[in-house]
Amino acid sequence: MSSLTHPSGGSTLSRVVKEALRSRELAVAIVLVLLIAVTTLKSESFLFSSTGWRDLLLTPSMLILLAVGQTAVIITRNVDLSVGSTLGLTAYLTGRLFIDTNLPIIAVVLAAVLMGAVLGLVNGILVAFGRVPALVITLGTMYIYRGVFLTWAGSDRINADDMPRAFRNLGTESILGIPVLTIVAVVVLCAVGYYLQTARGGRELYAIGSDPGAAELYGLKIRRRVMFAFVLSGALAGLAGAVSAARFGTVSSSVGSGVEFEAVGAAVIGGVAIFGGSGTVWGAALGAFLLVTINRALPVLGISDFWQQAVVGALIVGAITLDRVLVLRQEKRLVAARDDEPTSHATSPTLDPVLPGGSAAPDRPDPAGSDAAGTDSKEGGR
């Protein structure tokens, strides 16, 4: 009996430990800790200055939100390249609402989230019902949303004085040493992670990404689930726009440019399979943390900007290559385990059905009528 085709007989704790040791998330976390340790040894101010710890936690918060939404889309075998433009639009909307209205902060943030969800819904409808590849659709909407943003904003710029102090303080205040925006990102991360791991809708996203044909034959509502994934990604991009406005205090027409590729890269580096069906938001968040920390750490280590980009690209290529190697290796092991499986099922005894009341069903009559045992049984019953 193979451990690959039958459940492990170990305890729950041992299985959890084994899964953790084999997880991509642990590998990314180890690389992240080593990077922080080496950089801190090079320059203690990286972590122990007055703002070092705060910047380490605060800077990745925006990218974590984008990576979480991107993960929900990628596991369905799609991708959302419009999140950077959505972020820019919603960040500018946040500033304009503070300038043009007297809405409270929570209403403005919800408006940004709602606008992001609507933009994501457009992507979802076009992909799910138009049956057009998401890469093409979201590439087009990326330019459309960016064009709308540039037309709307023009040369205008939202400054810190245009936004209320209480909103700007969200980008600097902390609770128990943890920045408020980081707490917001972690809460969203836990909520989406719990949904994907436990809710039926979340598990169906994985099923759709693993085998869309099988999911359709099984009767899953593929279009609705795919559309939901894009709405979630757009809503989180809208929240990231509000977070960006609070974090930096200004909004210009260049906000969000290129961040969509960082979001995809964070998810892939964190172990989310680009071909769909596997990966977690925890890994995507660690990937976002690693990407942002690399950008901050490499200059401290004396590495030029060119090599920063090269390192990020190498991480993405390495993650995709590792995914393919692991998938092929797993497939070979499963095939080998199947071939080694004993053919006992062909000779195993047939279990009689159990009748109500706990008694076994009587022997079926021998079609040839030559079974002595069957004859004895009939005679005994008379």
Our CA dihedral for 62, 65, 71, 74, rounded to 10 degrees, sits at -70
pLDDT at 364: 43
Mean pLDDT calculated for residue range 127-152 = 93
Helix 83-100 vs helix 61-74: crossing angle, to nearest 10: 130
- CA 157, 68, 206, 267 dihedral sign is positive
d(CA 264, CA 63): 10
- Give the residue with greater pLDDT, 131 vs 60: 60
Residue 20 is predicted with a pLDDT of 63
Q: What is the pLDDT of residues 339-374, one digit of tens each?
A: 777 654 444 444 444 443 444 444 444 444 444 344
* Stretch 138-147: mean pLDDT: 95
pTM for the model: 0.81
- Rounded to whole angstroms, the Cα distance separating 352 from 168 reads 72
Supply the pLDDT for residue 195: 95
pLDDT at position 193, please?
95
- SS3 sequence, 60-91? CHHHHHHHHHHHHHHCCCCCCCCHHHHHHHHH
**More confidently predicted of 47 and 78:** 78
State the residue for tokens 């799910």.
128
User: 3-state class of 10 per DSSP?
Assistant: coil
